Amino acid sequence: MLLLVAAAAASTAAASATCVTSLLDLSPCLSFFKDAAATAAPPGCCEGLRAIIGTQAMCLCHIVNHSLERAIGVDIPINRAFQLLGDVCSLALPPEVITSCGDKDRVPPLYACPVPTA
């Protein structure tokens, strides 16, 4: 019984240490990235972006590093991402996020790799 509780706790910790769940908050923003002529954020987009900055800002490095667009198959131009962030949503990333995106030890994984069972 104790082993099952420990396994469940480890699974929950692994899920919270990944970015996939928090980056789902960007779903409303996808039409902004797809439409280069869009000048306003879709409903819910800025709120989702604000939530990510408040809880897991380092996860936004997956946009800078292009790993999110490879995972979802949607082109996310970095210039559009920064336009959305600053010009459209009036938000700012903490400076340490921008300077740390190349440090794989500081950026949580996009998703957890399954652990093989014995």
Mean pLDDT along residues 36-61: 96
Domain contains 32: yes
Domain contains 46: yes
Domain ranges, residue 39: 18-100
Q: What is the pLDDT of residue 10?
A: 36
| 27 pLDDT above the threshold of 90 | yes
**pTM of the full predicted structure?**
0.78
| 11 pLDDT above the threshold of 70 | no
Domain contains 39: yes
The number of domains in the chain is 1
Mean pLDDT along residues 76-103: 93
Q: What is the pLDDT of residue 109?
A: 93
Contact 116, 98 (CB under 8 A): no
Do you know the residue count of the chain?
Answer: 118
Q: In the predicted model, what is the mean pLDDT of the chain?
A: 84
Q: Please give the torsion angle defined by the CA atoms of residues 40, 55, 100 and 11, in that order, rounded to the nearest 10 degrees.
A: -120
Domain contains 88: yes
For residue 64, give the nearest of 12, 104, 7, 117 by alpha carbon. Answer: 104
Domain contains 8: no
Domain contains 38: yes
Q: In 10 A of CB 113, how many CB atoms?
A: 8
